[in-house]
Structure 1
Amino acid sequence: MPAMSQQPQHRRRRRTQLILTAAAGLTTVGALAAALPATASADEGDRKGGSYSRYQDVQLLSFNDLHGNLEPPSGSSGRVTHLNEDGTTQTINAGGVEYLATHLRQAREGNKYSITAAGGDMVGASPLISGLFHDEPTIDALNKLDLDVTSVGNHEFDEGPAELKRLQYGGCHEKDGCYVEGEEFQGADFPYLAANVLNEKTGKPILKPYTVWKKNGVRIGFIGVTLEDTPGVVSAEGVKGLKFKDEVETINKYARELQRQGVKSIVALIHEGGAPASQSYNYNCDAPGAGDGISGPIVDIAKNITPQVDALVTGHTHAAYACTINDPAGKPRTVTSAASFGRLYTDTTLTYDRWTGDIARTAVKSANHVVTRDVAKATDMTELITKWNTLAAPIGNRAIGYISADVPSTGTESPMGDLIADAQLAHGKQLDPETDLALMNPGGVRAGLTYAAKGSEGDGVVTYAEGFTVQPFSNTVNLQDFTGAQLIQVLKEQVSGSNASAPKILQPSAGLTYTLDMTKTGADRVVTDSILLNGAAIDPAATYRVATNSFLAGGGDGFTTLGQGTNDLVGADDLSALEQYLTANSSATNPIAPPAANRITIVS
């Protein structure tokens, strides 16, 4: 296969509107004016009496956290909840880029001023059809969707900054080369914005911090950031050499820069989010009596971002909301998130005032819409999916095990999480028979296993593609030694420190049991006397051999104690461990049963 191009050319989109991406040194009005054409082609229908009307509605379509879900996601990952007028709810099957493309294209009809933006995590933790090819298929799909701009998310750093830049600028993969003979990956037609992600050596953003969308005199700036805590949720290798700055500080800095350039209308794309008061995508969080409507990190961020920013497109929490949160001046400002996996898109109307160059905030309206599967599939997306599925089929269709029922990934302790922990314990014992237990981070369990047949496979068959969807990160299984006191501290870190407000409950391997008393607070929620390993109390002075994935072994997800282990031994990747376990412990005539998920007793 050809080697990766050293200086791949970035393609420019062929669309009526102009995308102007800001370079770090472009800070003056004169420089901006020099970069723009003197005139722009005008749509006569926008004019009144030979000139444009004062107010121009601009459509902002947005989504977030696609995670390479090109095909319709299955199970609960492919459903949304609709709140009916009578207070009842119903679930709707949703998602799939064939349908997302159709919905977006239909939404754009009749809107001469339409922008499509995203809030990060377009790639990473992706199903096999995209992840196997380092997410090139997803970038191709986003190009076809006519995405104008996106912020980076934490998962854009799963394979490190060099790979992120390849997704932006193109070129074949450094190790795997090109996947189709004669085709070199062209990269993204849209800019990835990384305003708060700095190169530690240069102190400059690794990608463009902002971009300006322009059409017929309308100019709207977009600033893109990811959550400051990205190093806490990404492997250490993925963020090596990078520094992540405060979201508010960064957005306010570049908002001032855009204002100096005469760009008064600004949208922030923020890969950080919140939790709505309802799980229904159409819940009115601004209705009287709705309470706070939304909680979580995005609230404080929104309250402190300069009023110069007119709307916030957010993500990361995979939640659905279209709310308003007051800016520092006490003025309501739209804050949106479109769930995840392409199940929803947000349609926001920004009313642009040509006299002032700003958004008339009182006229902003926004709502989430379901990407239903009752519309025609976009044929170009069907062709794209067919192409990459054909390439993936020889690998993805291989059976790696058999299950007797669904293995769900939901719950404080999930059957899928326990199954992965059991697989890592078994792999650990192959490496070192003295391995005592395994712990799995819940965020690394990306899906469950479904019993019902998919495609040509039979009921209960687990394919490599399904296993890849469950564990797509290519983390290794690492063994480390910890004292019993450290092990107890690890369990306490699930519900204290950075995890106090949003607990991250580790999935335990068979033999480890304990009680969580959620009526208490902080570390006291872990009932220390209840912690048993194979029926025996943990000895604080004893040494225990623990298997985790490499993300946890580096202290990820706030488990700093797991980054202090000794006597390290690195094994195979986590998906290989799961495959080995399923192959050894299941067959077509004797499938494996889902674990009972009863290792942690919850008191609430």
Structure 2
Amino acid sequence: MDLQILSFNDFHGNLEAPSGSSGRVAVGHAPDTADVDKDKNTAEPVDVNVDAGGVEYLASHLAEARKGHRNTLTVAAGDIVGASPLLSAAFHDEPTVLAMNKLGLDVTSVGNHEFDEGYKEIQRLAHGGCIDDGDGANNQNSCPTGSFPGASYDILAANVIEKSSGNTILPAYSIKNVNGAKIGFIGMTLKDTPNIVTASGVAGLEFTDEVKTANALVPVLRKQGVKAIVVLIHQGGTPNSEPWTSPVDGKTYQANPTYDYTCQGGGSLKSDSAILPIAAGLDPEIDMIVSGHTHQPYVCDVKDPAHNDRLVTSASSFGRLFTETDLQFDRRTQDIVRSSVKGSNMIVTRDTKDPAQTALIQQYKELVRPIASKVIGHITQDVLKGGAGINAGGESQLGDLIADAQLADPSVITGGDKPVIAFMNPGGIRSDLTYATSPYGEAPGDVTYDEAFTVQPFNNYLVSMTLTGAQIKEILGQQWTGSNSGSGKKILQVSKGFSYTYSGTTLGPVTLNNSPLVDGQSYRIVTNNFLQGGGDGFPSFTKGTNVYYGGLDIDAFANYLTSFNPTGYTPGPLTRISGS
């Protein structure tokens, strides 16, 4: 019998169509005739994009894809909630769960962002019920309509163990019977989740090895007569660049891969992609792998331990793509015919809106309006996290702004001891501040709470602490070592007055207010509680002493923007970090 599996990942509560680069998909390349990057080379490539994403369009595309398919399932690979826009986050992501119910999601794994508010919260989202959160404390309000039914789909967490009980926090697997075909789904997050989630969000939990966990469940499923097995895993890969020959000068350049280049168009995943050793180690009885986490598009065959091809997919993020996989189920063997498995990534173009999703969005837009529409500050131009707003060393305009806001926040001062350096993780900067954007009819350049929250959507707390100069240098070195080595390099954003240089993996001069940092001297610093807990591969933050918790990062950001009224904030030169 024919079977269809539709899949996506890393939706992150993007109910409305995402804007900017988060709402585009690369479909080709063209010469940079406008010299966008201002390097005076108009022959090199720029992406040719189409707008994509948004749950209204995702639901419509999935419904259209299901037509003519009697046997179909819709699955996901984690980060459905968390790091969400305000429309969802203001209500603890309850609107996103309701949207997933409406679009027909059958099963998903947890991802790392499902733990942003702790594992008890993802259990609540799965089972339903309300939080007594003070009816809007911290700009969040559970159950604004009076109730919340929870997810109608299965949320799986096979490798997340509650230490006190020894049990998984949610089911490890799910068996779906599609007209007599039993399909087993094993759902997992990446084992390194504690490294990239606030420590309080994973307290009391153990995250087990992905391969060992899934392989141990294969005989469990087989005892129940299930031979067709799919792994949903929140870990992924990064595509290699795409060669492109310019019609201007005939030279071949390395371009960003288009959405269907890896591996359907001849592309490949980088050799250090975390999903590759996992895919190579999973039991040959597992027929297919739906992955995520890296927000990249790919549909690739990776050899299993029996040296047979096995499909590994990922559909970018924010609902911009979904993967359609068609396969055959053999009723005699009760297994998937591996050679029949064919997948393709499909663009969620913005053509037709699903009425049920539109109604849900409109309902919550009215509920969130009093919070979202408040103007908190003004910018005189775009303030960017990438592109023209970032230098070769990795310093960005928005990174400077956020780090400076942390440094200026009075809530982290204790005993008169004011921080002198601020650090911000680049992955926590989720969107640009765009001058022309006016979602509530505000004047160009006005920044609403909604826009500010979209930049920093985690509701992290700011934390001040004392570190030695040597420890600070140790932290800077961790930007390109350990889990941040290779393609995983993470350049911390830093506050004004602090600067450093680097070359490759070698740290150069480090200065504070033009004076060299002294190894044995103590410095008061501020960061968010995510980094303070050692997140993103920066364990040396945990060495801080005299730790003091302040207010929320979004409040510091909003207050700092307000301090520039009425003239507004203008980004300065990118001179704090230099390197390559």
Structure 2 SS opposite 1:275? coil
Q: Residue in 2 aligned with 1:259?
A: 222
Q: TM-score, normalised to structure 1's length?
A: 0.86
**Kept after mapping to 2: 8 A contact 1:139/1:167:** yes
Inter-partner Cα distance in structure 1 for 2:205 and 2:527:
25
Q: Are residues 1:285 and 2:263 paired?
A: yes
Q: Residue in 2 aligned with 1:440?
A: 424
Q: Are residues 1:420 and 2:411 paired?
A: no
1:247-279 residue CA offsets vs partner (Å, 9 max, x unmatched): 000111112211122111010000000101243
Inter-partner Cα distance in structure 2 for 1:348 and 1:403:
45
Q: Are residues 1:73 and 2:18 paired?
A: yes
Structure 2 SS opposite 1:377? coil
State the Cα distance separating 1:471 from its structure 2 match.
1.1
Structure 2, unpaired ranges of 5+: 32-44, 136-140, 242-256
Amino acid of the residue matched to residue 263 of structure 2?
A: C
Q: Are residues 1:163 and 2:118 paired?
A: no
Structure 1 SS opposite 2:84? coil
Structure 1 SS opposite 2:298? strand
1:308-361 residue CA offsets vs partner (Å, 9 max, x unmatched): 110000000001101110001110100000000111100001211111111111
Amino acid of the residue matched to residue 423 of structure 1?
A: A
Q: Are residues 1:118 and 2:103 paired?
A: no
Inter-partner Cα distance in structure 1 for 2:269 and 2:175:
33
Structure 2 SS opposite 1:489? helix
Inter-partner Cα distance in structure 2 for 1:365 and 1:575:
44
Q: Residue in 1 aligned with 2:58?
A: 100
Q: Are residues 1:61 and 2:14 paired?
A: no
Inter-partner Cα distance in structure 1 for 2:223 and 2:269:
35
1:392-407 → structure 2 map (5 Å cutoff) = 392-407=368-383
Inter-partner Cα distance in structure 2 for 1:517 and 1:330:
40
1:402-481 → structure 2 map (5 Å cutoff) = 402-410=378-386, 411=390, 412-427=394-409, 431=413, 432=416, 434-455=418-439, 456-481=441-466
Q: Residue in 1 aligned with 2:514?
A: 535
Q: Residue in 1 aligned with 2:38?
A: none
Q: How many residues in Structure 1 have an aligned counterpart in Structure 2?
A: 537
Inter-partner Cα distance in structure 2 for 1:391 and 1:95:
23
1:155-304 → structure 2 map (5 Å cutoff) = 155-176=113-134, 179=142, 183-278=146-241, 279-285=257-263, 290=267, 295-304=272-281
Inter-partner Cα distance in structure 2 for 1:180 and 1:291:
45
**Kept after mapping to 2: 8 A contact 1:285/1:294:** no
Amino acid of the residue matched to residue 458 of structure 2?
A: F
1:420-465 residue CA offsets vs partner (Å, 9 max, x unmatched): 0000001158724532110001111111211113231111011001
Inter-partner Cα distance in structure 1 for 2:226 and 2:271:
30
Q: Residue in 1 aligned with 2:493?
A: 507
Q: TM-score, normalised to structure 2's length?
A: 0.90
Q: Residue in 2 aligned with 1:346?
A: 323
Q: Residue in 1 aligned with 2:250?
A: none
State the Cα distance separating 1:202 from its structure 2 match.
1.8
Structure 1 SS opposite 2:168? coil
Inter-partner Cα distance in structure 2 for 1:223 and 1:596:
49
State the Cα distance separating 1:287 from its structure 2 match.
5.5
Amino acid of the residue matched to residue 105 of structure 1?
A: A
**Kept after mapping to 1: 8 A contact 2:24/2:49:** yes
Counterparts in 2 of 1:506 and 1:359: CA distance versus 1, 3 Å: same
Structure 2 SS opposite 1:551? helix
Amino acid of the residue matched to residue 541 of structure 1?
A: G
Inter-partner Cα distance in structure 2 for 1:183 and 1:215:
35
**Kept after mapping to 1: 8 A contact 2:195/2:535:** yes
Counterparts in 2 of 1:184 and 1:371: CA distance versus 1, 3 Å: same
1:570-595 residue CA offsets vs partner (Å, 9 max, x unmatched): 211100100110011232xx121124
State the Cα distance separating 1:174 from its structure 2 match.
3.4
State the Cα distance separating 1:494 from its structure 2 match.
1.0
State the Cα distance separating 1:85 from its structure 2 match.
12
Q: Comparing 139-148 with 429-438, which one deviates more in the overlay?
A: 429-438
State the Cα distance separating 1:498 from its structure 2 match.
2.3
Q: Comparing 120-129 with 195-204, which one deviates more in the overlay?
A: 195-204
Structure 1 SS opposite 2:563? helix
Amino acid of the residue matched to residue 420 of structure 2?
A: D
Q: Residue in 2 aligned with 1:593?
A: 570
Inter-partner Cα distance in structure 1 for 2:47 and 2:407:
41
**RMSD, aligned CA:** 1.8
Counterparts in 2 of 1:292 and 1:448: CA distance versus 1, 3 Å: closer
Q: Equivalent of 1:486, from 453, 471, 488?
A: 471
Structure 1 SS opposite 2:186? strand
Inter-partner Cα distance in structure 2 for 1:226 and 1:180:
27
Inter-partner Cα distance in structure 1 for 2:271 and 2:479:
24
Structure 1 SS opposite 2:259? coil
Structure 2 SS opposite 1:453? coil
Structure 1, unpaired ranges of 5+: 1-55
State the Cα distance separating 1:406 from its structure 2 match.
1.2
Q: Comparing 592-601 with 389-398, which one deviates more in the overlay?
A: 592-601
Structure 2 SS opposite 1:348? strand
Inter-partner Cα distance in structure 2 for 1:473 and 1:84:
34
Inter-partner Cα distance in structure 2 for 1:303 and 1:355:
28
Inter-partner Cα distance in structure 1 for 2:145 and 2:353:
28
**Kept after mapping to 2: 8 A contact 1:285/1:293:** no
Identity of aligned residues (%): 48
**Kept after mapping to 1: 8 A contact 2:92/2:142:** no
Q: Residue in 1 aligned with 2:535?
A: 556
Q: Residue in 2 aligned with 1:53?
A: none
**Kept after mapping to 1: 8 A contact 2:17/2:53:** yes
Q: Comparing 422-431 with 160-169, which one deviates more in the overlay?
A: 422-431
Inter-partner Cα distance in structure 2 for 1:508 and 1:57:
54
Q: Are residues 1:517 and 2:503 paired?
A: yes
Q: Residue in 1 aligned with 2:579?
A: 602
Counterparts in 2 of 1:240 and 1:465: CA distance versus 1, 3 Å: same
**Kept after mapping to 2: 8 A contact 1:428/1:435:** no
Q: Residue in 1 aligned with 2:102?
A: 144
State the Cα distance separating 1:292 from its structure 2 match.
5.2
Counterparts in 2 of 1:548 and 1:182: CA distance versus 1, 3 Å: closer
Structure 2 SS opposite 1:591? coil
Inter-partner Cα distance in structure 2 for 1:478 and 1:151:
31
**Kept after mapping to 2: 8 A contact 1:441/1:504:** yes
**Kept after mapping to 2: 8 A contact 1:98/1:379:** yes
Counterparts in 2 of 1:304 and 1:514: CA distance versus 1, 3 Å: same
Q: Which has the larger radius of gyration?
A: 1
Amino acid of the residue matched to residue 591 of structure 1?
A: G
